[in-house]
Chains A and B, each alone.
Chain A
């Protein structure tokens, strides 16, 4: 047997070369540059399109709010609806005609004047594309019905009175008709072009975009709302999918802000840092479990009540979530008008749960508790409920599936889980966004995924949709929310708090549950 020892010179050279390559690589690390005059935000969602009419999710709100304007805008918390591109508006007595007058002198980024025809084109584009916020307008605006009698007046004529129309107007982001039309291909309403270009008038003007990275924009000096004394000259929103990478990037100064719905251990980590300040506000995003009211035996209110009493709300909020959320016992966020005050809601009470369970007739099959894979809280909540139900002798199984799967099942009466934990976010700050859609009979299988249809509740909700007096609407929503809770149509757990983490040098961030603190026109570096 031959044995060999020693490498010889050639081997040493090879190794030396490898070592040099490594050393060379590390030598380059010192070239890190840090942006000082540009605000950089790390976002969990990808900016895969910039078309403001193709998207309507909270995760990608920054491109819509910073690059585009609407006639109205939701500001602050609790959100207030303010005229924005519109200088004023009037509503006809029959509640069918909404007339907006545009501000004088407002221009798009290319310097052309914003005219009423641009607003008309924008709503027609939304209706034609059937994407993004289309669902908000599909029932109330007919294509071709919106008119521009003069350059500054826009008239919307609704097909039926709608008390929530005004609340949804901010989602009509106004695009530059001439510019978009010039880039239309095969009747696509400029979709391909607008997905990666800007045609707006927003506070910031798009300068760079890469769907794999994010977007960069510079301040639009001529914005019709003017500017304060301090502002960012440039903003950049980057996609960083990993939570840990977003947090580390914020800690070492790569980013100046990130999303405000991080897990509590990460929020704690950020709070302990000298570099980061965490702004805490109660948002409008409720966490609850849908119960399939249309399926036996869940159509029995006694079983639903037994389930509601078997969930340990206190343990979930205080122990699992470290008290970082607010108990919210009804299908409306605590902090919106129309939410009933002083309602205690269900508590964790196994004796009562057993009591109601005893009233249920027939066998109770194994209950499927749905959760969203990758969203730990939904799985933890399902496990906690499973524990409670086990103690009262109800068998359960937890099924955690990706949102893409769950969102498909939610629309199918047969495939829908018996229960499913999830959140309901703010798309527009009106009670209709929650109880009004979640439990209305005309939304069954669409936005009502509980198959709950109660004539009394429905009457209240339908009346509130057309009533223009807010006090009367508030009374209707209060009554409806209480009734839904009494019927235990779902397990209502908490309202989210927003923990907006920003570099300490960033000041002036204005949080609104719609914008999630990502509209940057008021923020600046100190």
Chain B
């Protein structure tokens, strides 16, 4: 029972942390790249919609690396991997705790 409780608790914490990360990235993108009055969801396309262009993507990459103390190799930092907040979270998740 205790073990099951711990596992559940650990998963819950993990989910909460991921939600925080997701919201942190969404807020950053909204504040930095969107024009006044524009809003995005976690699934809104960022690159293919034109909200974030390929030049600005570099500053988004630097933000992620600074914030999460990770290093994302150029081969992984593709427009496809940056195309929504959810996709960015998936990418960040690959490098956190490594």
Does B bind A?
Answer: no
Q: Which residues of A does B touch, CB under 8 Å?
A: none
